[in-house]
Amino acid sequence: AQQYPDWIWQNGTIKPWAEATTHVMSHALHYGSSVFEGIRSYATPDGAAIFRLTDHLTRLFHSAKIYDMVLPYTRDQIAAACRDVVKKNGLSAAYLRPVAWRGLGGFGLSAETPIDVAVAAWPMGPYLGPEALEQGITACVSSWQRFAPNTIPAGAKAGGNYLSGQLIAREARRMGFGEGIALASTGLLSEGAGENIFLVFDGALHTTPASASILTGITRHSLITLAREEGIEVIERDLPREYLYLADEVFMCGTAAEVTPIRAVDGKQVGAGHAGPVTRRIQELFFGLFNGKTHDKWGWLEPV
């Protein structure tokens, strides 16, 4: 059975995990009207630190704005809640989940319900399995497309978006793949079920743009920044499906997935069939932020 940490922050107070509940008639449960973040804290040589906490919470407020949700707490208050939850549960390497949702207060689609807010956190290692970071995973192109830009905004991290992610991830796993990759409504590459995607050609990184119905990930932005700093060229561009088969290397990234190599797509081997040199270098730079080998000149590590 799953072991849950003891404490959750909900609507201004820290309470026991079992008491952090909501009503069955909450708007969000029926209509997907929630916005959330996934954030990691790491055990660094200078103590536990939350990676890009401020940037994640800025995105939370952007997601809320898109859905006219006025959060009853400031960004600083939610940041303090994140720190408190990590501290109170005695966590260091963990996953943090701030979530805001339309609560009990009306059943119409445009109901102005109260907005509930919670922050949970639990210990977390590599998301796609411990070997995934080393050996890479297999992936398939999903039979499910990402939602088109004029249907549901991919730039908001909203609960309802993850119905699409569930279809993509569940189909992939049912068919024996580690993860699913979706095409956009244009037919061009979009992203993984819960990860952004990078292809390597001739030592340069190619990644899909915001116009490909992606969530513009904070890990994606971090890797682009680290790569450019290192003199590795990064190109945001449209990418056709077959480039997945032709790339020298492919990897996925996200808060949970971190930097995960893709060793095969649709049963076709990618490059040498294991993490290539550019992927390894990007992994080193990224994980270096947390073991002190990469200098954090951007202030991304926010102490707990």
Cβ proximity to ligand PMP, 116 vs 191, nearer residue: 191
Residues in the chain: 304
Q: To the nearest whole angstrom, how small is the minimum distance from the Cβ of residue 90 to ligand PMP? A: 24
**Does residue 293 have an active-site annotation?**
no
Beta strands in the chain (DSSP E): 7-10, 13-16, 34-36, 39-44, 47-51, 94-102, 115-123, 137-141, 179-183, 189-192, 196-201, 204-207, 234-236, 249-254, 258-265, 268-269, 301-303
Type of residue found at 147: F
Using the minimum distance from each CB to ligand PMP, give the nearer residue, 91 or 212. Answer: 212
Near ligand PMP by CB under 6 A: residue from 179, 195, 249, 258: 195
63, 255, 279, 283: which one contacts ligand PMP (CB under 6 A)?
255
Asked if 260 contacts 251 with a C-beta cutoff of 8 angstroms, the reply is yes
* Of 7 and 60, CB closest to ligand PMP: 60
Q: At its nearest, how many Å lie between ligand PMP and the CB of residue 98?
A: 12
Residue type, 14: I
Instruction: Look at strands 94-102 and 39-44 and give their pairing.
Output: antiparallel
Q: Which of 41, 44, 138, 196 binds ligand PMP (CB under 6 A)?
A: 196
- In this structure, the number of other CB atoms found within 10 A of the CB of residue 281 comes to 15
Task: Write down the residue that tokens 């990234």 correspond to.
Answer: 253
Check binding of 113 to ligand PMP (CB under 6 A): no
Does 194 sit near ligand PMP (CB under 6 A)?
yes
Which position among 15, 87, 88, 157 bears the catalytic label?
157
In the shown chain, the binding pattern of residues 210 to 229 toward ligand PMP, with x for contact by CB under 6 A and - for none, equals: -----x-xxxx---------
Looking at 109-117, 188-196, 266-274, 284-292, which segment touches ligand PMP (CB under 6 A)? 188-196
Tokens of 40: 């990691």
Closest distance to ligand PMP from the beta carbon of 254 (Å): 3
Q: Does 261 bind ligand PMP (CB under 6 A)?
A: no
CA distances 20 to 103, 166, 233, Å, are: 13, 24, 46
Taking residue 31's Cβ as centre, other Cβ atoms within 10 Å add up to 16
Smallest distance from the beta carbon of 257 to ligand PMP, in angstroms?
Answer: 7
Residues in contact with ligand PMP by CB under 6 A are 38, 165, 191, 194-196, 215, 217-220, 254-255
Q: Which residues are catalytic?
A: 157
